[in-house]
């Protein structure tokens, strides 16, 4: 087979070009898949936040794992068999709060005072809200906003 044309150009067999095109296509698909996977992982990245006890719950401890899509709270030392809710709160310029996750934003502790809460979020709270608060509802009604008592809180620094 003659690899050089009459005009002096190098000619490659069609089979070689097709094979190289398939390899190039596979490389491009692989690079795109890796890139999308990395973006997806970054979007799912969570930040662990330590929840600090309030004066009304001095023995309480907890952590929250927060991403743009989810919040997961684990708490100990809370009042046994009680109802708690989770809130994102801003104190300035005036106090404003929104439930963390999906209504009714609540969890119930077990007989040892251990509670967990998991919910989907519509957006990341970082940079929008100053703090995360977990509050006790002594009446057992998560809708009773007049009698709630702070239990745990954490500052949410901007990411």
- Per-domain boundaries in the chain: 10-44, 47-155
What mean pLDDT do residues 146-151 have? 94
With b meaning 16 or more CB within 10 Å and e meaning fewer, what string describes 101-130?
beeebbbbbeeebebebebebeebbeeebb
What mean pLDDT do residues 32-45 have? 50
What mean pLDDT do residues 24-40 have? 53
What's the confidence (pLDDT) of residue 1?
55
Least confident of 6-10, 14-18, 77-81: 14-18
CA torsion sign for 28, 29, 34, 38 is positive
DSSP code string of 55-90 = TTSTT-EEEEEE-SSEEEEEEESPPTT-EEEEEEEE
What mean pLDDT do residues 93-114 have? 94
Taking only the tens place, the pLDDT of each residue in 48-86 is 999 999 999 999 999 999 999 999 999 999 999 999 999
Q: Does the pTM exceed 0.75?
A: no
Average pLDDT, the chain: 83
Cβ 40 vs Cβ 32: under 8 Å: no
**Predicted confidence (pLDDT) at residue 43 exceeds the cutoff of 60:** no
Cβ 133 vs Cβ 148: under 8 Å: no
What mean pLDDT do residues 95-108 have? 93
**Predicted confidence (pLDDT) at residue 136 exceeds the cutoff of 60:** yes
CA atoms of 118 and 5, how far apart (whole Å): 70
Domain spanning 47-155, CATH architecture: Sandwich (2.60)
Longest dimension (CA), the chain: 94
């Amino acid at each position: 087979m003659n690899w050089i044309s009459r005009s002096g150009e190098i000619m490659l067999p069609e089979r070689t070009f097709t094979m190289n095109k398939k390899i190039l296509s596979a490389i491009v698909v692989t690079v795109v898949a890796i890139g999308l996977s990395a973006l997806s992982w970054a979007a799912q990245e969570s930040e662990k936040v330590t929840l600090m006890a309030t004066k009304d719950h001095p023995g309480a401890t907890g952590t929250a794992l927060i991403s743009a899509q989810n919040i997961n709270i684990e708490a100990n030392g809370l009042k046994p068999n009680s109802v708690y809710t989770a809130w994102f709160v801003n104190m300035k310029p005036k106090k404003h709060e929104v439930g963390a996750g999906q209504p009714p934003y609540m969890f119930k502790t077990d007989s040892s005072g251990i509670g967990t809460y998991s919910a989907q979020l519509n957006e990341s709270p970082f940079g929008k809200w100053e703090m995360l608060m977990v509050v006790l509802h002594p009446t057992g009604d998560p809708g009773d906003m007049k009698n709630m008592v702070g239990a745990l809180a954490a500052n949410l620094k901007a990411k």
